[in-house]
Amino acid sequence: MKKFKKIFIAFLAFFPFFPALALAQVTDFSSLVGVAVNVLRALVSVMFAAAVITFLAGVAMFIFKSDSEVERTKGKQIMVWGVVALFVMVSMWGLVNVIKLTFGI
Question: pLDDT digits over 55-74, tens only?
Answer: 999 999 988 888 888 888 88
Letter for the amino acid at 57?
A
For the stretch 45-60, pLDDT in tens is 888 898 999 999 999 9
C-alpha to C-alpha distance for 45 and 37, rounded to whole angstroms: 12
Domain of 87 in residue numbering reads as 2-103
Torsion of CA 43, 48, 54, 55, to 10 degrees: 170
Count of CB atoms situated within 10 Å of the CB of 23: 8
Counting the structural domains of the chain, the total is 1
